[in-house]
Every structure is written in structure tokens, then in C-alpha cells.
Structure 1
Amino acid sequence: MRKILLLGTLTLFTGVAHAGDIPLFNVSCPGNLAVSADQGGPVYINGKVVASSAVDDRHFQVKTAEVSLSISVEDDDSVTVKYSDKHGASGLCEAVDD
């Protein structure tokens, strides 16, 4: 029984490690949202860490009570961030130079 629990725990950590493929980016979204990530995560909205989840190795999601973000790593390794808020507004975020 202990071996099964240990294997399940390792599988869980492997899944979490897979989600660490978030690239470094810095964007500005409407509604005064500054969104950024360090290489491998975490994702920040206005300086606060938010939870993210991997959809696959090139797509990630962030959901808060106020906003949802879809983060895509393109074939040229650029990052596209789309947002939608709780009022139905949606659009693309713009890259910001550091």
C-alpha cells in the first residue's frame, strides 16, 4: 500500500513540474493589469502571484475572480496573452519592454 501512495505522490509532482514551462514575459492588459512571469513561473498580476495551470506544453491558463488569462507560446517562442474579465470584456494584452 505504501508503494502505491508513493507512486501517486511522484506522479502528482511530475505533473506540477510539467507546468513549469511558462516563459519569461511582461505584458499590459486593459483594465490596468500588468501581467508578467519569470522563466518557469510564477505568473504575477499587478505584482501578486496567481495560480496558473498548464493546458499543454505551450498553453497555460490563469483564472481569478476578476479575470481569466490564456497564455500561448507561439512557434517562434513569442508569447501571446489573451484576457477576459468577469464583465465580458476580452482582448489581447500588449508586450511591455522592461
Structure 2
Amino acid sequence: MSGAACAEGVPLSDVACPGNLAVGADQDGPVSINGKTMQSSAEDDRHFQARTPQASLSISVEDNESVTVKYSARHSPHLVGEAIDD
């Protein structure tokens, strides 16, 4: 999706989630899932949301600076992934 809104403060991360989902984010830049850019927004400086009509991601920066992603989609269970590299 071109021109997707980007949440300021999103951490640089690559996260592997169950179900063969690869979530990537550039620092302050776009969030993508399996290479497709998503709309993103900041809830606060440690919590971010990214959405498409079919899926939703909650991105959290933990106290130890690791990144956790919770993924949900229509007709699928909630999945949790953790950063590959901190």
C-alpha cells in the first residue's frame, strides 16, 4: 500500500511470528508483514498498532528493549512473535 501512514517511534525490528509471518519495521518508518506495508500508529512511546483490513498487529517495546508483536486476523487465532535480533 503506497503512502501508508507511519508511526513515529516504531523501533527497527524483524520479528518472526508463528504461521510463517515475518514482521519488519524501519526506525520511525513503515511496518510490513510478509513484505506488505501496513498503516501504523503510536499509542505511546512503547506501544504501536499496525493494521490492514484483514489483520492487526500490536507492537510493544518491553522494559529490556526487546520487541514483541501480537498478530490477529479474521478467522485465525492470536499469534505472538518475538524479535529475532534485539
Settle same-fold status: TM greater than 0.5.
yes
The residue correspondences of 1:82-93 to structure 2 (distance < 5 A) are 82-93=70-81
Aligned position for 1:27: 15
Q: What is residue 63 of structure 2 aligned with on the other side? A: 75
TM-score if structure 1 supplies the norm length? Answer: 0.71
Please point out which of 53, 56, 65 is paired with 1:65: 53
CA contact (8 A) 1:43 1:49 kept: yes
User: Where does structure 2 lack aligned partners over 5 or more consecutive residues?
Assistant: none
Match for residue 42 of structure 2?
A: 54
The answer to which structure has the higher strand fraction is 2
Query: What is the identity percentage for the equivalent residue pairs of Structure 1 and Structure 2?
Result: 62
Is the Cα–Cα contact under 8 Å of residues 70 and 80 in structure 2 kept in the other structure?
yes
Query: What's the secondary structure of 1:40's corresponding residue?
Result: coil
CA deviations 1:9-67 (Å, max 9, x no partner) are: xxxxxxx89x3101111112233221100111211111121110111111000111221
Please tell me the root mean square deviation across aligned C-alpha atoms, in Å: 1.9
Q: Flag as ranges the 4+ runs of structure 1 deviating above 4 A.
A: none
The count of aligned residue pairs is 81
The alpha-carbon deviation at position 89 of structure 1 amounts to 0.7
Q: Which residue of 1 aligns with 2:31?
A: 43
Structure of higher RCO (CA pairs closer than 8 Å, 6+ residues apart): 2
Higher Cα radius of gyration: 1
Contact residue 37 and residue 44 of structure 1 kept, 8 A: yes
Q: How far apart are 1:88 and its partner, in Å?
A: 4.1
- TM score, norm. by length of structure 2: 0.80
Distance 1:24 1:81, change over 3 A: same
2-structure distance, mates of 1:20, 1:93: 21
